[in-house]
Amino acid sequence: MDIPTANRAWDWTPPQVQPWILGALFLFSMGAFFLSIWPKIRVMRLAVPENRWDHPLQRIQNTLKIAFGQSKLFKDSKPGLMHAMFFWGFLILLLRAAQFFAIGFFPRVEIQFPGSQSLFDFYGLARDAVIFLVVLAAKYGLYRRLVLKPKNLTLSFDGILILVLILFIMLTDVLFEAAWFSRNPDQLSLWSPLGALFSWALMDHLSPAALIATHNAAYWGHVSFILFFITLLPNSKHFHIVASIPNVYFSNPQRTGSGLRRIDFEEEGKESFGVNNILDLSWKSLLDLHTCTECGRCDSVCPALNSGKPLSPKKLTTDLRDYLNAATPRLLETSGPAPGEGPALLGGVIDDETLWACTSCGACEEACPVMIDYVDKIIAMRQGLVMTESRMPKELEQAFKSLEVNSNPWGFGKNTRADWADGLDIKLWDKENPTEYLYFVGCNGSFDHRGKKISTQVTKLLKEAGVDFSILGMEEGCTGDPARRAGNEYLFDLLASTNAETFKAQRIKKVVTHCPHCFNSLKNEYPEFGANLEVIHHSELLAKLIQEGKLKREEKSESTTVYHDSCYLGRHNQEYEAPRDVLSAGVDETARREVENSRENGTCCGAGGGRFLMEENTGTRMSHNRVDELMATQPDTIAVSCPFCVLMIEDALKAKNLHDKVKVKDISEILE
């Protein structure tokens, strides 16, 4: 099969005219495309600068795996396979599209080189296989939208139109090939099976003149559908076809911690902080908005939405995108936001209650196939509410005061921070005679009645294993995690700066903590404050001690035990194995269970994002939903690795009258 020449173009169109017709269509379509995307690019250039050019090799690796490999799509197998077929088919058929335009622009040119026929034959077979699969995918997509109608999927005319266009593009390709073979039976090739198959039907039913007309109509229909498809992209959700690959490339390459950055509160002329208008978002955040596919995967895993809270990550993104698109002409005219024009971003486009519903668990980001950041945007808008507009839930006002005065959110006196350790013979840190580890206890482990039991058990295990450790006592302060997640970045800065100075002054290098929230802050956020620590979670240290034979358990519990993944240890820091290794040392293999939503798909208990400080008055409690999931394994014990998860799950069990039947234990207590 040769690459087609003039005899595959319009027979009655003079060859010298044909390129001009195609050229006019091409220039019009590409002009419309670039005129539509140029304002989006200009607005992104007005947004907050952000360095997303670091770690190029890791970014390329993520792009190959996630964008080109479509790895995150297959968590939902059927629609995942459907979208993967579209994407991979698009890549393979790019050469076919180029072939069609080559026919139009160069109707008298034939492409011939040694081995070209074999190459064209092989590509023809691959092309037909891809066309067949893409047609199946498009038909399934229409069935899903028109019949199944999943609740989290945006069911729009736009989506149906694109699927129909894809079908027309595929069918006109096959019709073009079939008509050619019908007119030239001597060139019929089984390397193009779809064209060969349908050519027999055309030869039996159409006259030579009708075959010519069919061949011509298929050609111009095909290129016209492609060009029409291109003009639709910039102003529809399908712009993600263009934006998704760069969005994945510029996403967080390490996939740990957060993208939150320290604010310069001394910046001259700065009167507002956080996100108060659309251009307070970074250019990457605006790219996120244009990348959303509206697939609803984020909504399906959001613990807030699934417990009746007014937070839909998808709607949050599309509302911001629609607001951005509507405001673009005004933003470009004024080179920035014009006060008083259009609805307010906070409290108008996005309701306060929507922002306060988030637990910052990151489930939406884990589910998103195009690597959109949701949590950082929500926290940045919380910063605008708290630091610029002084709007926040009443419970947070008192918590912020307590954090500022006593360095804990509950108002306990700072001088009582080490009282939990009375009688336990625990060393206080001495920089002149430092221990190997500093045990950073955290607010929960220092003040909460249940948390103190965990702290006590951790110290017993460390002593049993001969670990050289000490605590800071009254010099320890809150890491500031609840303040930062609740939008009070100024208070977080104050607390983090104080702790960082203590770490530096005391020459502390290695820290162990049992709280994943403390762990995340110290490991991922404190380096920006000059505290470069080796931070280890107690699950990691205990697993290491067990492996080294320093913690031995001859007898294992036979109590049926299920493990609940902490969001800030798991999704935010990719640690799933260490707590399970500890669990396996204390619980018999036959008694261990895994809940369906576990590891990176684990469901939040509802405590993160500062939510443990706030009332939960809307819908059902997130912790209750999580307990329902865990109880499906019929456990006697629920094992956790976060003190806040302990509190939330214990409260849920009490509310369900299950606290006498099921116990909640930190993994350290499993080894007790």
Q: Which residue has the tokens 């005065």?
A: 405
Q: pLDDT per residue over 242-260, tens digit each? A: 999 999 999 998 777 777 8
Q: How large is the average pLDDT for residues 473-501?
A: 97
Residue 71, C-beta contacts closer than 8 angstroms, at least 6 positions apart = 65
pLDDT bracket for residue 414 (50, 70, 90):
very high
Domains of the chain from N-terminus onward: 6-248 (1.20.950), 278-388 (1.10.1060), 395-670 (no CATH)
On whether the CB atoms of residues 452 and 443 are closer than 8 A, the answer is no
Smallest CA-to-CA distance from 293 within 221, 239, 365, 362 is with 239
On whether the CB atoms of residues 301 and 601 are closer than 8 A, the answer is yes
Average pLDDT over the chain, rounded to an integer: 92
CA distance 140 to 146: 10
Say which range, 262-271, 295-304, 491-500, 560-569, has the weakest mean pLDDT: 262-271
Q: pLDDT per residue over 55-108, tens digit each? A: 999 999 999 999 999 999 888 888 889 999 999 999 999 999 999 999 888 877
Q: Which residue has the tokens 């055309």?
A: 202
Higher pLDDT, 343 or 602: 602
On whether the CB atoms of residues 507 and 486 are closer than 8 A, the answer is no
Say which range, 3-7, 149-153, 460-464, has the weakest mean pLDDT: 3-7
Element housing 57 (H / E): helix 56-62
Bin 264: left if φ > 0, else alpha if -120 < ψ < 50, else beta: beta
Cα torsion 561, 566, 567, 573 to 10°: value is -110
Flag whether pLDDT at 10 surpasses 50: no
On whether the CB atoms of residues 599 and 565 are closer than 8 A, the answer is yes
CA angle centred on 305, ends 302 and 306, rounded to 5°: 80
Question: Which amino acid is located at 224 in the chain?
Answer: S
Alpha helices in 73-207 (DSSP H): 77-105, 116-143, 157-183, 193-205
Higher pLDDT, 268 or 530: 530
Q: pLDDT per residue over 358-388, tens digit each? A: 999 999 999 999 999 999 999 999 999 999 9
396-401's contacts with Cβ under 8 Å and 24+ in sequence apart are 396/486, 396/488, 396/610, 396/613, 396/614, 399/482, 399/486, 399/610, 399/613, 400/483, 400/486, 400/488, 400/491
Q: Is the overall model pTM greater than 0.85, yes or no?
A: yes
Question: What pLDDT is stored for residue 13 in this prediction?
Answer: 55
pLDDT bracket for residue 436 (50, 70, 90):
very high
pLDDT bracket for residue 14 (50, 70, 90):
low
Question: What pLDDT is stored for residue 5 in this prediction?
Answer: 41
Question: What pLDDT is stored for residue 560 in this prediction?
Answer: 97
Question: What pLDDT is stored for residue 322 in this prediction?
Answer: 95
Smallest CA-to-CA distance from 367 within 79, 154, 595 is with 79
Question: What pLDDT is stored for residue 12 in this prediction?
Answer: 47
pLDDT bracket for residue 9 (50, 70, 90):
very low
CA distance 306 to 452: 32
Q: pLDDT per residue over 135-175, tens digit each? A: 999 999 999 999 988 888 877 888 899 999 999 999 999 99
Smallest CA-to-CA distance from 481 within 446, 445, 515, 439 is with 515
Q: pLDDT per residue over 608-641, tens digit each? A: 999 999 999 999 999 999 999 999 999 999 999 9
